[in-house]
Structure 1
Amino acid sequence: MLFIVLLIVLLNADQMVMSPNIGAIEKDFNVDDAQIGLVGAVFTVVGAVVSLAWGYFADKYSRKRLLIYSILVGEIPCFMTAFSTSFSQLFFWRVLTGIGVGASFPIVFSLIGDMFDEVNRAKVAALMGAAISVGNILGMIVGGFVGPSFGWRLPFVLVSLPNVVLAFIALFVIKEPPRGAFEKGIGELVRAGYAYPKAPRFEDYAKLVSVKTNLLLFLQGIAGTIPWGAIPYFLVEFFRRERGLSVETATIIFLVFGVGNILGTIVGGWLGAFLYKRSKPLVPIFCSLTTALGVWLTVLTFDYSDVANSGLYVLMILGLLASLTDSLTGPNVKMMLLNVNEPQDRGRIFSIFNLTDSLGTGIGRWIGGLLSVSFGSLAAAMKVSAYFWLICSLFLFLLTFKFSRDVDSLESRMIALAQKLNK
């Protein structure tokens, strides 16, 4: 598990390594925010669409090998981005990198579902969410501190090469868990040596969407991740352009926000596991309330403009609290998906979730660029994006009436499957 976390940290550094150097890339290729926003959108959306196939493969074939392939598919194009001589070449290599990043998502969460039980999945999902956040921060550090001194190209090389080496080492480190090992009823038989008897089928896709928890989480994923797309992508450029900070200082502020994101993800996962044991409906209620609170804190942060002297520290505290609150929901969303879907369906369900989630993120980056051009202000663009979290909060509240029933339904099916296999 720790080695998988390391791989995901480095792979997700690819996502944000470009962000601190948006201004330099725009100047080099003579493009604007809308075009750069489109790169981020296509990076995310194309990767998510292609991950639908990877999700099916994850339910059918060796997930260890598929994870290694996805790492290589992402890192080699990331390396080649450094040698782009035109905007079209940059666009091409970033799309290929997005495919690798998107493919890893359903594979990893399919593995998690068979490595841990229903309560601990929230904690492990928090660990994986923290790994993604650390990766984003690592990309920002490399891009923000190396780019201004050595040019925007070198950071792409630095974040890609280490993971190529680690991908080959993963062949000997990662072990494939047996499918269904921690499900109630059938899990005992799988751990005793029986093979999990169900296999993925194409016709099951309709069944996945019919699960109410899945559908509501898909909808909130689309709406809720528009701010997750626009805000981190343009954050450093916002502080540089509209608050008059250097790229290095803006990157430090981003790191503080990133620490809040990591803390919120970890705390959210542990609180989610605690609430799940107390009463399952408490989990979506908790997610709904904290998501709504995060909107207010985020808007307050972007409205704060006194960044001189001690005001910079006030900004950091506001951003830390906002990003912490915004991040409490993430691991619990993953846990809810794992706990209402059968083992042979989890790769596909997370590929669909990744698609809906990435549509919001990718479109959010594009919308963020368009809003910036329309309003003439990145602050206005990011505040408008933040209000989409209110839609997310509504869908999460509706889960209060569906999540517990869907968990009980899955447990009943797994127990019946075990009885059938015993006979």
Structure 2
Amino acid sequence: MTKTKAGLNTIFTVAIFIALASLDYTVIGLFPPLFSTIASSINVHISAMGSISAITILFTALSSIAWGYLADKGNRKRLIIIGTLIWSVSLFLSSLSQSYFHLVIFQIFTGLGLGCNSTIGFSVLTDYVPKRFLGTIMSLWGLSQGFGCIAGSIMAPIVSSKFGWRMPFIIISFLGVLFIFLYFFIKEPVKGAAEPELKGIELDSYNYNISFLSIKNILTKKSNVWLMIQGFFLNITLGTLLWLPTLYASKIRAQGFSEDTSIIAASYFYALFQLGGLSSTFFGYLGDKLQKKTLRARALLTGSLIFLIIPLYISIFIIPLNNLTLPDGGGAFSILLSLFGQIIRNPWVLSIFLLSILASAAQSANIPNWLALITDVNLPEHRATSFSISNFVNGVARSSGNAFIGIVLGIISSYFDEPNNYIITMIVFQLFVIPSVIAYYKVSKNSKRDITKVRSILRKRAKNIS
């Protein structure tokens, strides 16, 4: 294969896996705007819908451990095809659900399939992307996830208003089938191909594989432990942010608008207010640059920025959407145009918009630098497994946040009406960010030693192979 052809194949493969990262988050993003519609359709209270999102996230995270271990052992291309087939079929079956029980069962299998997306995508990218660009590329991967969530939250109410809540699920399931076709044209990288310490050796001779004994080393490595703790607490909070469209819809209804208008406008608000996430690429690049000066930089940078989301999100929750002007009963496009006008003319909407840009920007620093840290502190043959275990912890936390917010909301709703019940509930869950920031400081104190050890092991292996 010529260098040009190999380069194009690499670009194609990286692009496919970056695009793939958006799909599992699109699935998750479908639910929040449709909570009330689905709940009404299958005759359950809206608070029960939090459990559906929690189940999807939990089983996605749980299955990612198995997918990660298999990815470290063997053929990742075959695995991604199997996993995508599972979630595509299950998501289509979810669209046919006639009861809460049906939806739960099909979402369990959807989650089992979705677990392959991020785990195998992470494994492939870390073997393709040179270390000096790792944070930047991982930011694009994280940005794709954010885009998927936004795309799901926008597409769901628009499509459902015309064709019902089931159609968005059908559309995404067919996109999954399209990706299965594209997978046949990707090239799987050799493990360790992006490691500078292994440069110049015949990588086909790099035959180090994970074993069950390796899992103990992964779980006892201090950097991994603190990254898991950090991810657990932060993702409890992030899991509850899926309720932002519900909060916005409640605030809009409080202004006297209809249910349909409130749902569509809330979805647009949610999408527009996530635009700060586009700065993820900058923070990934900044992490790459600062990490060259000190191996503590990524963790310290990210912890500092994550701390800022507490006051920013609390302010967003509290500020009302007063003097809101929307074409009640109008089409989705006319509502969107009206919202743009409100951002310019309405100081309440403008304030929330600016604060949301800052909050989503600060939050966006987490994914690229967290992924880069997981990569740096683990050996190539351990990375998919270490990522999947950490991702499982994150998923448990996100699903817990989704499940518990429904419980807390039920309690607080006994004392406060809408939208104050949502505001108070979501403020409470911001407190979990504090231990996450502390954990990042602990990561900064341990990562230098663990990164140095990984580099030393790789250099020794390179000498033995050559």
Match of 1:293 in 2: 308
Q: Are residue 73 (structure 1) and residue 82 (structure 2) matched?
A: no
Query: 1:197 is matched with which residue: 207, 229, 232?
Result: 207
Equivalent residue of 1:114, what SS? Answer: helix
Separation in structure 2 between the aligned mates of residue 367 and residue 10 of structure 1, nearest angstrom? 25
Aligned 1:274-353 pairs, distance under 5 A: 274-309=289-324, 310=346, 311-353=348-390
Separation in structure 2 between the aligned mates of residue 282 and residue 395 of structure 1, nearest angstrom? 14
Partners of 1:217 and 1:395 within 8 A in 2: yes
Instruction: Give the alignment's TM-score, normalised by structure 1.
Output: 0.95
Question: What is the Cα-based RMSD across aligned positions, in Å?
Answer: 1.5
Query: 1:179 is matched with which residue: 191, 194, 201?
Result: 191
Query: 1:94 is matched with which residue: 100, 103, 107?
Result: 107
Query: 1:407 is matched with which residue: 451, 455, 466?
Result: 451
The code of the aligned residue for 2:180 comes to: A
Q: Are residue 167 (structure 1) and residue 180 (structure 2) matched?
A: yes
Separation in structure 1 between the aligned mates of residue 323 and residue 84 of structure 2, nearest angstrom? 42
Task: Report deviation, 1:65.
Answer: 1.9
Separation in structure 2 between the aligned mates of residue 410 and residue 402 of structure 1, nearest angstrom? 13
Task: Report deviation, 1:307.
Answer: 3.6
Partners of 2:251 and 2:320 within 8 A in 1: no
Query: 2:434 is matched with which residue: 387, 390, 396?
Result: 390
The code of the aligned residue for 1:249 comes to: A
Partners of 2:31 and 2:53 within 8 A in 1: no
Separation in structure 2 between the aligned mates of residue 392 and residue 115 of structure 1, nearest angstrom? 30
The code of the aligned residue for 2:455 comes to: E
Partners of 1:294 and 1:325 within 8 A in 2: yes
Match of 1:250 in 2: 266
Task: Report deviation, 1:280.
Answer: 1.7
Task: Report deviation, 1:193.
Answer: 4.8
Task: Indicate the structure (1 or 2) with the bigger Cα radius of gyration.
Answer: 2
Query: 1:139 is matched with which residue: 152, 162, 171?
Result: 152
Residues 35-82 of structure 1 deviation map (CA, whole Å, 9 limit, x = unaligned):
211111111112211221111110011112212222221111111111
Match of 1:122 in 2: 135
Match of 2:333 in 1: none
Separation in structure 1 between the aligned mates of residue 465 and residue 205 of structure 2, nearest angstrom? 10
Q: Are residue 64 (structure 1) and residue 77 (structure 2) matched?
A: yes
Partners of 1:130 and 1:265 within 8 A in 2: yes
Structure 1: state its 5+ residue gaps: none
Match of 2:465 in 1: 421
Partners of 2:252 and 2:266 within 8 A in 1: no
Task: Report deviation, 1:264.
Answer: 3.4
Task: Report deviation, 1:405.
Answer: 1.2
Partners of 1:102 and 1:354 within 8 A in 2: no
Partners of 1:65 and 1:171 within 8 A in 2: no
Residues 205-263 of structure 1 deviation map (CA, whole Å, 9 limit, x = unaligned):
0000121111100011111001111112x1111111244261111111111122222x1
Partners of 2:205 and 2:465 within 8 A in 1: no
Q: Are residue 236 (structure 1) and residue 245 (structure 2) matched?
A: yes
Match of 2:170 in 1: 157
Equivalent residue of 2:184, what SS? Answer: helix
Query: 1:223 is matched with which residue: 220, 228, 233?
Result: 233
Q: How many residues align?
A: 417
Change (3 A) 1:21 1:207: same
Q: Are residue 24 (structure 1) and residue 37 (structure 2) matched?
A: yes
The code of the aligned residue for 1:374 comes to: I
Partners of 2:193 and 2:203 within 8 A in 1: no
Equivalent residue of 1:176, what SS? Answer: coil
Structure 2: state its 5+ residue gaps: 1-13, 325-345, 414-420
The code of the aligned residue for 1:386 comes to: Q
Residues 173-203 of structure 1 deviation map (CA, whole Å, 9 limit, x = unaligned):
x1111111122333431xx454212111011
Q: Are residue 259 (structure 1) and residue 275 (structure 2) matched?
A: yes
| Identical-pair percentage | 25
Separation in structure 1 between the aligned mates of residue 252 and residue 367 of structure 2, nearest angstrom? 30
Separation in structure 2 between the aligned mates of residue 37 and residue 247 of structure 1, nearest angstrom? 17
Equivalent residue of 1:31, what SS? Answer: coil
Match of 2:288 in 1: 273
Separation in structure 2 between the aligned mates of residue 313 and residue 73 of structure 1, nearest angstrom? 43
Residues 280-330 of structure 1 deviation map (CA, whole Å, 9 limit, x = unaligned):
212111111111111111111111114424022222221121111122122
The code of the aligned residue for 1:225 comes to: N
Partners of 1:11 and 1:75 within 8 A in 2: no
Separation in structure 2 between the aligned mates of residue 329 and residue 47 of structure 1, nearest angstrom? 20
Task: Report deviation, 1:362.
Answer: 0.7
Separation in structure 2 between the aligned mates of residue 134 and residue 333 of structure 1, nearest angstrom? 18
